[in-house]
């Protein structure tokens, strides 16, 4: 009877996990000819696999780019290197070009001729040249009986050899990425361009309309886009910024559809999704809900409250900290909504059923039992240990601490300078480099903001973590300042040579290693770094066990159901996802249409609220229905929904119709499906896209930069 029950359970779970929903999956483009193209064509796709991905002919993948090696995605939309991505992907660059007198964040910016395009220091754009399955090469010589340390050495050596073989003396970049937790490996070859310029960005009342209130929400009315241009050397190859550089002439650029979208339309998104955890166990779900997400929310909220209080006082601080605040707000809200969605959708229960089925399957014969029988119990033991030692929570606190107070992060980076000074050789080049770093760092740094953040982070750290993770700095605070973090912070920012640009540059005039090493900020940073290393040492005690269990679990799942088409977790490599334009029901009696129009912008307009203030020119254009060629039946579209499977890093990804024409840009997800990094939900998961016709309307009618449309290939 017991075996019969197990068999029924196994069959039920296999059935539920085997039938991937048509819209689920972040697929490697090189594999769509094998796994996906037939299904895509049944859904309405008019393209061949080679038109999407090929190494032998120009194709769509040649127009898809990774910004800053995967922070966001974008696409080439002209033969002159014109690139479109999200406004929030260009936000830091726009802020970097802004001043109180030239506030491009608020007012927008449009270059009306090439010489007005603004260079963006540090911005990169990478094109994928090709990808290749190198699993057999990387895992050659590896077996299941060897120690994890020995396995890793063999893999690292193979990866190093592969990347060196590709790069050689070329301008290509190569990386080998693990898939399915180390069961497979793929080589990715890129060409990265480093001369990127800002062409146009809409006013915040368009590009950031709705602000944090509407973030992760539908309906949306945000024109979340900006326009960049990629430049190359005269030979077409990557080059550092130069006035002599020319617009990039690539293999392919995306045509743009003016035909619009309707419910049920097939569509594709290609981009560089950052990270998912679809194979996370029920134990990992519990940790997220009960431990790490609450810590993340607490710390980010505390930092946001401090930053916002200063931003409200000064336009200069508003501009300087706009990007920091937007980053914190985005991920704080994500953690909040993810916890709600995980709970509401009972993701823990689904994972537990899958694990029970896995154990039942593993027990069906001795070979499986020997190989997979202890995998789930291993996870249980590891997560129990992590909950008891609080190491994962401590890691969250330490990361927020070191990246929250900017002076600590800059002090950490100054370790290289201290090492060079200790050697007593010629350090002039290093000093010059740090002068340049200082220019960049202090531009958006305010000691008063930083001081309050440091004080608050230390208070929360001491309150919520065990003593074993306390840094040595806490002993100093207790000894010299009677445990008062406020007084300690006052002391640090008053005495540290790193606390102001003037002090640091003065130090660089006569640099000495001992002076830097005894600096309060430098010592505090290294103190927290030592605590971080302690946490990592504790985690490494079970990291190998975890990696082995995860690798076996995923391998076992694939063996358990060989008929299922599996896709690897996102890891900032090029992926394709396909689906439909579709509405959804958010909750009982709450239904949403698949699109929004200009009417919603006017309905949300609130001059008393900066998040919903509509620029006067836009208000006039909309009120008078001066839509140009961009309306459909007299109505200007703004945003629409699709069922695509995306995550962070997909921001700015092009949304393509069945013919491979650009119809919009992906820029957000809906709050109801915020568990999507872990589990795709067919009923709730939606991608929020800005309609390309609204983008063209803003460029032409609002910004008066219609000349840019002459570069594009517009399809009626």
Q: Give catalytic residue positions.
A: 88, 224, 651
Q: How far is CA 677 from the centre of its chain?
A: 12
> 73 with 61: CB under 8 angstroms?
no
Q: Which two tokens stand for residue 297?
A: 């929310």
CA 347 to CA 90: how far, in whole Å? 34
For residue 179, give every residue at least 6 positions away whose Cβ sits within 8 Å of its Cβ, in sequence order, or none: 28, 185, 186, 568, 569, 571
Which pair of tokens denotes residue 565?
């088409």
- Rounded alpha-carbon distances, angstroms, from residue 563 to 187, 199, 395, 566: 26, 48, 39, 9
Show the tokens assigned to 6: 């197990």
| Cα→Cα distances 655→46, 167, 266, 663, Å | 15, 32, 10, 6
Which single residue is written with the structure tokens 């600590």?
A: 408
CA atoms of 235 and 496, how far apart (whole Å): 48
* Residue 93, C-beta contacts closer than 8 angstroms, at least 6 positions apart: 120, 123, 198
Helices (H), 561-686: 598-604, 616-623
Alpha helices in 121-217 (DSSP H): 135-138, 148-167, 204-207, 211-214
Q: Where are the alpha helices (DSSP H) in 583-701?
A: 598-604, 616-623, 692-697
Query: Exposed e or buried b for every residue in 31-44, given b needs 16+ CB within 10 A?
Result: bbeeebbeebeebe
CB under 8 Å to 672, separation ≥6 — which residues? 341, 584, 586, 587, 684
């Amino acid at each position: 009877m017991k075996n019969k029950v197990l068999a029924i359970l196994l069959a039920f779970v296999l059935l539920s996990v085997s039938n991937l929903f048509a819209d689920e999956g972040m697929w490697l483009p090189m594999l769509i000819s094998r796994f996906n193209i037939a299904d895509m064509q049944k859904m309405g796709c008019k393209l061949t696999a080679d038109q999407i991905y090929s190494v032998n002919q120009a194709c769509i993948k040649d127009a898809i780019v990774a910004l800053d090696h995967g922070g966001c995605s974008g696409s080439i939309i002209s033969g002159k290197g014109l690139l479109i991505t999200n406004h929030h992907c260009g936000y830091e660059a726009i802020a970097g070009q802004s001043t109180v007198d030239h506030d491009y964040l608020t007012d927008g910016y449009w270059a009306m001729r090439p010489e007005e395009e603004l260079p963006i220091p540090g911005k990169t754009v990478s094109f994928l040249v090709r990808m290749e399955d190198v699993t057999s090469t990387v895992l050659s010589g590896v077996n299941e009986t060897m120690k994890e340390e020995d396995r890793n050495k063999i893999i690292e050596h193979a990866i190093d050899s592969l990347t060196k073989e590709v790069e050689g003396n070329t301008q290509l970049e190569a990386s080998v990425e693990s898939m399915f937790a180390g069961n497979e490996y793929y080589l990715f070859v890129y060409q990265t361009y480093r001369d990127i310029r800002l062409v146009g960005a809409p006013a915040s009342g368009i590009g950031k309309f709705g602000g944090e209130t509407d973030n992760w929400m539908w309906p949306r009315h945000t024109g979340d886009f900006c326009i960049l241009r990629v430049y190359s050397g005269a030979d077409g190859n990557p080059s550092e910024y130069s006035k002599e550089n020319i617009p990039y002439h690539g293999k392919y650029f995306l045509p743009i559809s003016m035909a619009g979208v309707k419910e049920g339309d097939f569509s594709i998104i290609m981009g560089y999704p950052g990270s998912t955890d679809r194979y996370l166990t029920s134990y990992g779900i519990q940790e997220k809900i009960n431990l790490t997400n609450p810590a993340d929310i607490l710390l980010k909220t505390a930092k946001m409250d401090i930053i916002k209080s200063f931003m409200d006082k000064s336009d200069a601080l508003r501009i300087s900290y706009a990007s920091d605040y937007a980053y914190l707000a985005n991920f704080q809200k994500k953690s909040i909504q993810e916890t709600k969605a995980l709970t509401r959708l009972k993701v823990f229960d689904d994972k537990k059923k899958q694990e029970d089925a896995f154990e039942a399957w593993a027990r069906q014969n001795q070979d499986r039992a020997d190989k997979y029988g202890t995998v789930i119990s291993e996870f249980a033991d590891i997560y129990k240990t992590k909950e008891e030692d609080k190491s994962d929570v401590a890691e969250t606190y330490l990361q927020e601490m070191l990246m929250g107070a900017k002076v600590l992060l800059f002090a950490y980076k100054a370790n290289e300078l201290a090492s060079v000074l200790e050697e007593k050789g010629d350090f002039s080049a290093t000093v010059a480099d740090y002068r340049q770093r200082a220019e960049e760092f202090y531009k958006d740094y305010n000691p008063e903001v930083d001081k309050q953040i440091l004080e608050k982070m230390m208070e929360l750290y001491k309150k919520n973590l065990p003593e074993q993770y306390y840094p040595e700095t806490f002993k100093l605070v207790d000894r010299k300042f009677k445990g008062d973090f406020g007084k300690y912070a006052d002391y640090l920012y008053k005495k540290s040579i790193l606390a102001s640009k003037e002090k640091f540059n003065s130090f660089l005039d006569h640099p000495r290693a001992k002076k830097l090493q005894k600096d309060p900020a430098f010592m505090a940073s290294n103190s927290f770094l030592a605590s971080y290393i302690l946490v990592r040492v504790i985690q490494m005690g079970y990291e190998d066990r975890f990696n082995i269990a995860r690798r076996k679990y995923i391998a076992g799942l694939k063996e358990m159901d060989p008929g299922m088409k599996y896709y690897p977790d996102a890891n900032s490599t090029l992926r394709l996802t396909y689906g439909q334009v579709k509405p959804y029901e958010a909750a009982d009696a709450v239904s949403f249409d698949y699109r929004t129009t200009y009417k919603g912008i006017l309905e949300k307009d609130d001059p008393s609220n900066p998040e919903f203030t509509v620029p006067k020119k836009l208000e006039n254009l909309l009120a008078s229905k001066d839509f140009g060629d961009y309306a459909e039946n007299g109505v200007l579209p703004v945003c629409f929904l699709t069922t695509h499977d995306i995550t962070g890093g997909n921001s700015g990804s092009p949304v393509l119709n069945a013919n491979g024409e650009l119809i919009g840009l992906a820029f957000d997800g809906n709050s109801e499906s915020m568990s999507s990094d872990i589990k795709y939900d067919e009923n709730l998961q939606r991608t929020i896209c800005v309609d390309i016709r609204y983008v063209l309307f803003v460029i032409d009618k609002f910004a008066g930069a219609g000349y840019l449309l002459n570069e594009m290939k517009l399809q009626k």
